[in-house]
Amino acid sequence: MNTFFNIHGGIHPEEEKHLSNPGTVLDAGLPQSLVLPLSQHIGKPSSLCVKPGDYVLGGQLLAEADGMVSVPLHAPTSGTVIAIEPRPVPHPSALDNLCLELACDGEDRWIEYRGCEDWRTETPESLISRISAAGIAGMGGAGFPTAVKLMARERLPLTTLIINGTECEPYITADDTLMQVDAAGIVEGAQILARILAVEDILLAVEDNKPAALAAMRKAAETAGEHCKVMTFPTKYPSGGEKQLIEILTGQQVPAGGLPADLGIVCQNPGTAVAARDAVCHGKPLTDRIVTLTGRALMRPGNYRTRLGTPIEHLLTVAGFDPSQNRRLIHGGPMMGFALESAAVPIVKTTNCILVPTEQELPTPPDAQACIRCGLCAEACPASLLPQQLYWYARAKDQEQLERHHLADCIECGACSWVCPSHIPLVQYYRAAKGMIRESKAEKVRSDRSRDRFEAREARLEQEAIAREAQRAARRAAAEKKAAAGGADDPVAAAIARAKAKKESAGNEESGS
């Protein structure tokens, strides 16, 4: 076994991974229609290049990347674009978002796509553009555009690529399954990513609760040379958090407010690696993914290859949903996933799991009791925070103390809430407090800007006043000087003479009319 480092805190919830039978990929089938949100990633939504009524083939571009931090979107099958309108999407906010609805024609006809001959001879730039064109965004959950992440090489010297196959969330086995069925693809994808990043070391990280995946990855890694190593370590939640995994593997901590790239590290998900391989070697865009459908309210849980845009309703039917004992539908895992209000939302690039538990399995939480500051949360926190203190400060809206207690370093893993004997939804308090701080910072920026504007205006007015005063003084000085020079030339007498002359000429005009 390789060496590894311990991280602070962590918890051991029931794993429940056996439920979804990792290692076998089932087919989710083709629904009647697909709903494709234009924003399935972090960054700007993609911009449409089709209109309602257009017939498209599988793999055809539907929307292109809009700017640097954005990704394109491709049709997951052939059919007709029937609607472009705001629809509910899987997002914690439960707000509607612009979506494209594609009525599938059932023929599943595809465009021709072709990859490069040999990625080993391609330049990093051309590899990045292939990945960018395939619409790949981080498939582990965050959905950051992969091509953008790969450009880290331009800013910082990199040494290591970590493929994060930890999958520490209970229930989810999508990465486990992928590692078992396509370890070679993951390793090849990792090699492509490593070439782009110009790093030598590839670490394939797998928690020790996935022996089959470990064996498959070890076998695949043999072909990739000595710089590609499989790393394993004891199961604990949240070992798969990017920062936590880096500490486990290297003993180093990502500096607060920094990125793994500051340590010369880039992390990628196994699904992302395979998608990159498909994009580079086959030219295939990202149009499907493995989704774990699990929970005891499903009769046929498992890992389903699912086209993006597949409505969750369709998947529930495929997996045999029994609504009698169920109250919750969770997008993601039980620790960090968010509850969906309705099953009429689609699968997106970041959907790794749909969890449909029975009430007995994951009971509705009881009312929160008082915080007794027992400190179990601090024992569990992987970021070594004091969640009990943050809780009080969040309730008091004490922004200064929240920042002093490093609220920003909370990764929202939920370990504190999980152990809290009083069932306090701690993470929810932190999310709200983070929102409050964001808001007040934005407010501060706004008020700073208007203050600056006001001060600039005041300064300008003052300057103008001074300038006017100076002008006036100059005029007065000039006049005095003139008066002093031509003593006979009395200005008062001159003015009287002028007025007299004017009056006379006015009188002449009057009499003349």
> Which of 113, 116, 98, 115 minimizes the C-alpha distance to 46?
98
Question: By C-alpha distance, which of 308, 310, 312, 286 is closest to 298?
Answer: 312
User: How many beta carbons lie within 10 A of that of residue 501, not counting itself?
Assistant: 10
CB 250, min distance to other proteins, A: 13
Nearest to residue 347, comparing CAs of 388, 377, 375, 305? 305
Query: Of 257 and 486, which CB lies nearer to other proteins in the complex structure?
Result: 257
Q: Say which residue the tokens 């439920």 belong to.
A: 19
The distance of closest approach from Cβ of residue 313 to other proteins in the complex, given in angstroms and rounded to an integer, is 9
Q: Token pair 């480092």 is at which residue?
A: 5
Structure tokens at 228: 């590609």
| Nearest distance, CB of residue 247 and other proteins, angstroms | 8
Cis peptide before 92 (omega within 30 of 0): no
Least CB distance from residue 103 to other proteins, whole Å?
Answer: 23
Nearer to other proteins, 152 or 215 (CB): 152
Q: Please say which residue, 202 or 413, places its beta carbon nearer to other proteins.
A: 413
Shorter beta-carbon distance to other proteins: residue 366 or 512: 366
DSSP-based three-state secondary structure for 389 = helix
CB of 390 to other proteins, least distance (A): 11
Q: Which is nearer to other proteins, 130 or 328 (CB)?
A: 328
Lookup: tokens for 176: 């486990």
**What is the edge-to-edge ordering of all strands in the sheet holding 160-165?**
228-233, 201-207, 160-165, 265-268
CA-to-CA distance for 91 and 390, rounded, in angstroms? 26
**Bridge pairing between strands 73-74 and 61-64:** antiparallel
Least Å distance, CB 117 to other proteins, is 43
The pair of structure tokens assigned to 230 is 């499989």
Whose Cβ is closer to other proteins: residue 52's or residue 323's?
323
Task: Pick the closer one to other proteins by CB: 62 or 205.
Answer: 205
**Closer CB to other proteins, 216 or 355, in the complex:** 355
Q: How far is the CB of 406 from other proteins (least distance, A)?
A: 4
Q: Write out the two tokens for 491.
A: 């200005």
The burial of 124, by beta-carbon neighbours within 10 Å (0-12 exposed, 13-18 middle, 19 or more buried), is given as middle
CB of 372 vs other proteins, minimal distance in Å: 5
Residue 321 CB, shortest distance to other proteins, in Å, is 10
What's the maximum distance between 2 C-alpha atoms anywhere in the chain? 121
Q: Order the strands of the 25-27 sheet from edge to edge.
A: 25-27, 302-307, 288-294, 353-355, 329-331, 338-340
**Choice between 256 and 442, CB closer to other proteins:** 256
Q: How far is the CB of 14 from other proteins (least distance, A)?
A: 7
* Comparison of 80 and 389: residue with beta carbon closer to other proteins: 389
> CB of 181: closest distance to other proteins in angstroms?
28
CB of 398 to other proteins, least distance (A): 13
User: Closer to other proteins at the Cβ: 206 or 263?
Assistant: 263
What is the SS3 assignment for 304?
strand
Closest approach, Cβ 140 to other proteins, in A, equals: 16
Pairing of strands 96-104, 33-37: antiparallel
Strand 288-294 and strand 353-355: the pairing is: parallel
CA-derived radius of gyration, the chain: 33
For other proteins, which is the closer residue by CB, 92 or 211? Answer: 92
Question: Kind and range of the H or E element at 442?
Answer: helix 426-485
- Phi and psi angles of residue 329, each rounded to the nearest 5 degrees, phi first: -125, 120
- In angstroms, what CA-CA distances link 216 with 172, 221, 302? 18, 9, 20
Which residue, 204 or 407, has its beta carbon nearer to other proteins? 407
Round to whole Å and give the CA distance between 373 and 390.
Answer: 11
Q: Alpha-carbon torsion 352, 357, 362, 363, what sign?
A: positive
Closest CA to 284 of 427, 463, 104, 76: 76
